Structure 1
Amino acid sequence: MQKTPLLYYLLFACLCVILAQNENYKTPRRGRRRMHYRGLRRGSLGNRSPNKQRQTKSPILITPVPSIPLINTDGDITEVIDSLIGLDGHESSYSVLPGKEGRCFANGMIMYDKAAWSPKPCVTCLCSKGKVLCDETLCRPLSCHRTRIPEGECCPVCTNIVLSSVSLGDASEFSGDSPEPNDFTVTAMQKVHTSNERDVLLKKEIQLLEKKKNIVKENRKRKRIKSQGERKKQEHENDQKDEESKRRIEEEKRRAYEEEELRIEKELNKMKEEREEMGNEHEGDEDEDQEEEDILRGDVFQMTPLFPIPEPSAEIPPLPTGCSILDNTATCIDAKLTQIPPIMDAELTTIEFVGNFITSIPDDAFNGIPNLERIDLRKNNITSSGIGSQAFKILKNLKRLYLDENALVHIPPGLPSTLDELKINENQLHAIDENSFQDLKNLVTLELEGNKLSEANVSPLAFQPLKSLSYLRLGRNKYRTIPQGLPHSIEELYLDNNQIEEITEICFNHTKNLNIIVLRHNKIEESRIAPLAWINHENLESIDLSYNKLYHVPSYLPKSLLHLILIGNQIDRIPGFVFGHMKPGLEYLYLSYNKLDDDGIDPVSFYGAYHSLREIFLDHNQLKSVPLGIAEMKSLNFLRLNNNKIRSVPPERICKTRLNHEDHEDEDDDDESEEEHDYEDSQLEHLHLENNYINTRDLSPYAFSCVRSYSSVILKPQLK
């Protein structure tokens, strides 16, 4: 019985001591906060990053102090005594936990309600009514070019931006000496709670913006499909009812998209207002002085400012009727356009505005489509005065430009250096000066056919800047001589349908890479071709001199020639040995529509080409018999002798054999196998002899024995 009063006496004494200590430590709220802030300023953590400070302060450490423990009335009271005085001579390690209910237990530590901490980088946790709420830290977007992620942090920062923060004390000052959290800590925890709510709101807002962006894309796709549908409707008038139902469905989809977009817009505005109210709700009291306000701005728990929400991109202006966009290509063919429509789509690489009434290309025509690689403006009414000097400046990737069938009189100015193909056929070009192709060093193909160009209005230096040019077409112009100043890189030259009369020795002196020359439909005579004009060209393989004024096959042809086209002249003779100097030898010879007769072909006319010729066209001439030398051509594959005056085909004029089958019927088997072997060596597959005067009944059965297939011998019809 005596122990019980003694116990109550001890408890009463302890209570009095504690109350006295609390009375001594009590200070006004405002004063206590100021003292704590000054302590923070004198601390040693001033240079730490905000994220590191948050990690240091978040766990609230409880230091053992003499205080009344929480007594479990269901347990033995002796346990409480043991915790105060310590049994067996050991100091007590019992942590007294003051405060209200709602504490959290995390990572082996007990956190107060509203406490915030970072268990790992980029993650912030909050104790709310006994529950632990964690969320990842959001990073604001940066507009700078160079960023880095500081050590211990999760968000990147610009390398030219220095983050500053208020110096903070060490970890011991964060918990304080009082077991009860002060007003500053509570305010910081409220700020963390508010910031987390704002982060959640921001996430939701970003998701809505993404959804709105998808709707805008869907609208764009729907408009493209709709424009394509309108185009198909014009082509298929019989499907009018189906198109009407499709249009109704599309209209319903459009209304649904618009309603959804309007709803999202309203929700975004509402969330924006909530975010602004939330930012204003927890500002500092007006009674607190400027010093306290400055300290709160540098609070370790202050979240990174919210980044500005990007406005949704403006809707692309609709394309005119008859236009469509598909696979990065905008197409407006025969759409009756009078100007280039305004298009805002950086993904487009090709525009095809063929067959319209466009008259000009202003400086800002391609501002919304800067990544174009191909522009097709054929069959319009574009004039030289209508093209702005800066019209093509923005196009850094342009490769192909087609301006055929317009009304240009000059080469457009300011063409980008990236061009590798330029076509201005069928215009009114009547002058090219030395600066017309300036900076076009990458141009490979140039076509200027159907204009009014001549040696009188084209500068000899006009083509010099074209260092990469290999394909040049100047047909259907007014040239009387071969153009001068052609670039060294030229490989194919087309000068058909001009008025060229002569080929001088200096015409091709600087074009040693020439491979093909086309001079058909001019006024060239064989006597006006200089002996040294092209004979030494080692790469020249094809010459087309069709429809000129040639009477003989020209001499002094290039040594490397493989392909000679002389159709539609007045040739009546093939001089002997005219092909004898060629190496490796002529392979294709076309002499159709000339005036060749039996006297015009000598036994040695094809000398030097017997082993190389693969095709010979001698149709539409005046031959009365198969020319001599045909049977000697072992590589011949295609022979045309139709539309002549041939009356007979001797057995060995086309197919030559070592043995005559009729005269050597009694020869042994070895001779027969040798005869068959001669036939197998022949390459002849196509033979045309129609429209002559041949009596097919008089033909020898061995006249065409070397032809690989009898079905390839065309004999009908014959003239009478």
Structure 2
Amino acid sequence: MRLSLLLLLLLLPGPPTAPCMEDAAFPHLGESSQPPPRACPPRCSCPRADTVDCDGLDLRVFPDNITRAAQHLSLQNNQLQELPYNELSRLSGLRTLNLHNNLISSEGLPDEAFESLTQLQHIYVAHNKLSVAPQFLPRSLRVVDLAANQMTEIFPLTFGEKPALRSVYLHNNQLSNAGLPPDAFHGSEAVTTLSLSNNQLSYLPPSLPPSLERLHLQNNLISKVPRGALSRQTHLRELYLQHNQLTDSGLDATTFSKLHRLEYLDLSHNHLAAVPAGLPHTLAVLHLGRNRIRQVEAARLHGARGLRYLLLQHNQLGAAGLPTGALRPLRGLHTLHIYGNGLERVPLALPRRLRSLVLPHNRVAMLGARDLTSTPGLAELNLAHNRLVSARVHHRAFRRLRALRSLDLAGNQLTQLPTGLPTSLHTLRLQRNQLRALEPEPLAGLDQLQELSLAHNRLRVGDIGPGTWHELQALQVLDLSHNELSFVPPDLPETLEELRLQSNRISHVGPEAFLSTPNLRALFLRANRLHMTSIAPEAFLGLPHLRVVDTTENLEQVLVQLPPTAPRQPRAWGP
């Protein structure tokens, strides 16, 4: 949003070939013709003939000896309270003026302060003390940043009659609708970005520039979009209306229907009870999280046939909240977020091209044989923190998911590993269940699995069947923390790099504990029952890559003896 002076220097052309007359000195006869160093305000930096950088010097007074040749002046991060007109009027060649983060008030800013800056293109006065906007800004402006002040009012010529104006930032002020004149942008037909977020607007401002591409109105008090308020904004691509007070009656079927280029619409954190009507077919992202939506109707989605990301988390979708086929119009849907609702089953007849289904924190209690057959291309399935029990997960529930890479079943009530898991899995999360045993059959064929979390279960070493780890030839991260293990499980995969065993009942680590895991890099043994000499001196022989050993929070300080041939001393953590 704000360009640093360094970035501006990289983007701007080189210094003029000859200095301005006021800075040039005529050499005496017989002397070198090389000009003397340019004048520069005390403590400031002048890296180029047209650049003066006085950033962060705690200045309380505007510098009085800035060269007339200055085109780029930075006074940000100081203590300035006012701008003297006589000093600014000298700098008629300024193109960039950065006053960000000072103490400038409206009383310290004369009405005519900027009238002589006819070349000014970028002005930054964010994070100051302005109570009203400047009444007159130069016609030449391209970017105006007045964010994070205390402004309650702007004027017709603050932003009006600026044919080159592209970006206006007014967020974090105290603007109400009464403080915005109806002709605020008259004659400024090139504005593409307008930020009015974090103000006190109660309805969508009228007469917005028709050229807008990005409009930020989040964190206001907006309860209504007047009919036709967006009818001219046909170039709009991004519209942010989250954290307002919108209800269904504050929108109608024409609110968004004219936005034929809209790609991103955020209506989250409002009071909507239904999906808005009249959504444009260009829409790619629709965020409706944190509303009061009880049911999704297919008819409301017919227009948004190009939607790829639909976010419905934390609404009031119950058992019938997503009827069969409700999302069928969204043939290209890639990601569906519906966590934090009251769904009792995975929605049926989901779009075939769906790649990511995220529905933790619902009430899903079963997975039938056909529940997931409509989405064969699914790559991510998150069913964490539902009510799944092993007896109600069909052994063929996952059979069609041949592209699934990530499966999250954490926080359910599973007592055994599901069977028929896709061999394409890279990540499997089963933490916070009630697993009491591990057998090799459910893990058979998972030769691509890289991460397996079994934390917070009830596993004991004796309940892990022989050969359980044999198939996991790509496993790199194994989390067995917060179980009931009394020693390190044997025959772990050779590819293992990170092993988490914290918060178990391990009291002894024998010399052969890690013979099968020569690639181990990180080992966590925190909060077990280890004593001072519980770890055999030979335990870490053959682990040349080991870098982290965490043995804190045990009964006593644990001595960690590492092999002398290790190429690099691992980091041993202890009390």
**Superposed pair shares fold, TM > 0.5:** yes
- Partner SS state of residue 697, structure 1: coil
- Partner SS state of residue 578, structure 1: helix
Tell me if 1:362 matches 2:198.
no
Question: 2-side partners of 1:467 and 1:530: how far apart?
Answer: 27
How big is the shift at 1:344?
Answer: 3.5
How big is the shift at 1:607?
Answer: 2.8
Residue in structure 1 matched with residue 362 of structure 2 by the alignment: 498
Higher relative contact order (CA 8 A, sep 6+): 1
Question: 2-side partners of 1:447 and 1:698: how far apart?
Answer: 51
How big is the shift at 1:322?
Answer: 4.8
How big is the shift at 1:421?
Answer: 0.6
How big is the shift at 1:705?
Answer: 2.3
How big is the shift at 1:701?
Answer: 2.9
Tell me if 1:685 matches 2:521.
yes
For 1:635, the aligned partner's letter is: T
Q: Say if 2:389 and 2:412, in contact at 8 Å, map to a contact too.
A: yes
Question: 1-side partners of 2:455 and 2:421: how far apart?
Answer: 19
Measured at CA, do residues 474 and 626 of structure 1 come closer, stay the same or move farther in structure 2, by a change above 3 Å? same
Question: 2-side partners of 1:394 and 1:259: how far apart?
Answer: 32
Question: 1-side partners of 2:448 and 2:489: how far apart?
Answer: 20
How big is the shift at 1:386?
Answer: 1.3
1:446 to 296, 310, 321: 310
1:640 to 500, 523, 535: 500
- What do the CA deviations read for 1:70-92 (whole angstroms, capped 9, x no partner)? xxxxxxxxxxxxxxxxxxxxxxx
Q: How many residues align?
A: 409
Tell me if 1:608 matches 2:464.
no
Residue in structure 1 matched with residue 458 of structure 2 by the alignment: 595
Q: Say if 1:342 and 1:368, in contact at 8 Å, map to a contact too.
A: no
Residue in structure 1 matched with residue 536 of structure 2 by the alignment: 700
Measured at CA, do residues 327 and 496 of structure 1 come closer, stay the same or move farther in structure 2, by a change above 3 Å? farther
How big is the shift at 1:357?
Answer: 0.7
Measured at CA, do residues 504 and 710 of structure 1 come closer, stay the same or move farther in structure 2, by a change above 3 Å? closer
Question: 1-side partners of 2:500 and 2:160: how far apart?
Answer: 67
- Partner SS state of residue 651, structure 1: coil
Measured at CA, do residues 327 and 652 of structure 1 come closer, stay the same or move farther in structure 2, by a change above 3 Å? farther
Tell me if 1:340 matches 2:176.
no
Question: 2-side partners of 1:258 and 1:624: how far apart?
Answer: 76
Question: 2-side partners of 1:698 and 1:544: how far apart?
Answer: 35
Tell me if 1:626 matches 2:462.
no
Question: 2-side partners of 1:258 and 1:591: how far apart?
Answer: 65
Measured at CA, do residues 687 and 389 of structure 1 come closer, stay the same or move farther in structure 2, by a change above 3 Å? same
1:352 to 207, 211, 216: 216
Residue in structure 2 matched with residue 653 of structure 1 by the alignment: 513
Question: 1-side partners of 2:115 and 2:375: how far apart?
Answer: 66
- Partner SS state of residue 502, structure 1: coil
Residue in structure 1 matched with residue 388 of structure 2 by the alignment: 524
Q: Say if 1:535 and 1:558, in contact at 8 Å, map to a contact too.
A: yes
- What do the CA deviations read for 1:482-507 (whole angstroms, capped 9, x no partner)? 10120101010011110000000110
Q: Say if 2:523 and 2:548, in contact at 8 Å, map to a contact too.
A: yes
Considering only aligned residues, what root-mean-square deviation do their CA atoms show, in Å? 3.2
Q: Say if 1:355 and 1:380, in contact at 8 Å, map to a contact too.
A: yes
Residue in structure 2 matched with residue 400 of structure 1 by the alignment: 264
Measured at CA, do residues 249 and 540 of structure 1 come closer, stay the same or move farther in structure 2, by a change above 3 Å? same
Residue in structure 1 matched with residue 549 of structure 2 by the alignment: 713
Question: 2-side partners of 1:529 and 1:257: how far apart?
Answer: 67
How big is the shift at 1:536?
Answer: 4.1
Residue in structure 1 matched with residue 283 of structure 2 by the alignment: 419
Question: 2-side partners of 1:257 and 1:244: how far apart?
Answer: 12
For 1:370, the aligned partner's letter is: T
Question: 1-side partners of 2:282 and 2:514: how far apart?
Answer: 56
Measured at CA, do residues 240 and 587 of structure 1 come closer, stay the same or move farther in structure 2, by a change above 3 Å? closer
Residue in structure 2 matched with residue 459 of structure 1 by the alignment: 323
Question: 2-side partners of 1:534 and 1:509: how far apart?
Answer: 8
How big is the shift at 1:370?
Answer: 2.3
Tell me if 1:537 matches 2:537.
no
Residue in structure 2 matched with residue 202 of structure 1 by the alignment: none
Question: 1-side partners of 2:546 and 2:532: how far apart?
Answer: 14
Question: 2-side partners of 1:432 and 1:650: how far apart?
Answer: 58
Question: 2-side partners of 1:712 and 1:440: how far apart?
Answer: 51
**Residue correspondence of structure 1 range 241-256 to structure 2 within 5 A:** 241=104, 244-247=107-110, 250=113
Question: 2-side partners of 1:408 and 1:595: how far apart?
Answer: 43
Measured at CA, do residues 334 and 258 of structure 1 come closer, stay the same or move farther in structure 2, by a change above 3 Å? closer
- Partner SS state of residue 513, structure 2: helix
Question: 2-side partners of 1:546 and 1:710: how far apart?
Answer: 29
For 2:525, the aligned partner's letter is: L
How big is the shift at 1:529?
Answer: 0.7
Tell me if 1:328 matches 2:188.
no
How big is the shift at 1:552?
Answer: 1.7
Whose Rg is larger?
A: 1
Q: Which has the higher helix share?
A: 1
Question: 2-side partners of 1:511 and 1:710: how far apart?
Answer: 42
Residue in structure 1 matched with residue 47 of structure 2 by the alignment: none
Measured at CA, do residues 540 and 444 of structure 1 come closer, stay the same or move farther in structure 2, by a change above 3 Å? same
For 1:618, the aligned partner's letter is: L
Measured at CA, do residues 340 and 621 of structure 1 come closer, stay the same or move farther in structure 2, by a change above 3 Å? same
For 2:531, the aligned partner's letter is: N
Residue in structure 2 matched with residue 183 of structure 1 by the alignment: none
Residue in structure 1 matched with residue 93 of structure 2 by the alignment: none
Measured at CA, do residues 608 and 451 of structure 1 come closer, stay the same or move farther in structure 2, by a change above 3 Å? same
Q: Say if 2:428 and 2:451, in contact at 8 Å, map to a contact too.
A: yes
Measured at CA, do residues 487 and 257 of structure 1 come closer, stay the same or move farther in structure 2, by a change above 3 Å? closer
**Residue correspondence of structure 1 range 101-500 to structure 2 within 5 A:** 239-241=102-104, 244-247=107-110, 250=113, 315=161, 322=174, 328-500=192-364
Residue in structure 1 matched with residue 56 of structure 2 by the alignment: none
For 1:429, the aligned partner's letter is: I
Question: 2-side partners of 1:372 and 1:448: how far apart?
Answer: 23
Measured at CA, do residues 395 and 595 of structure 1 come closer, stay the same or move farther in structure 2, by a change above 3 Å? same
Measured at CA, do residues 247 and 516 of structure 1 come closer, stay the same or move farther in structure 2, by a change above 3 Å? farther
How big is the shift at 1:698?
Answer: 4.4
Q: Say if 1:579 and 1:586, in contact at 8 Å, map to a contact too.
A: no
Q: Structure 1 residues 326-335 or 399-408, which shifts more?
A: 326-335
How big is the shift at 1:527?
Answer: 1.4
Q: Say if 2:372 and 2:400, in contact at 8 Å, map to a contact too.
A: no
Q: What stretches of structure 2 of length at least 5 have no aligned partner?
A: 1-95, 119-133, 140-158, 557-575
Question: 1-side partners of 2:137 and 2:369: how far apart?
Answer: 78
Q: Say if 1:577 and 1:604, in contact at 8 Å, map to a contact too.
A: no
How big is the shift at 1:710?
Answer: 5.0
- What do the CA deviations read for 1:54-100 (whole angstroms, capped 9, x no partner)? xxxxxxxxxxxxxxxxxxxxxxxxxxxxxxxxxxxxxxxxxxxxxxx
Residue in structure 1 matched with residue 19 of structure 2 by the alignment: none
Question: 2-side partners of 1:258 and 1:543: how far apart?
Answer: 59
Q: What stretches of structure 1 of length at least 5 have no aligned partner?
A: 1-224, 262-312, 657-678
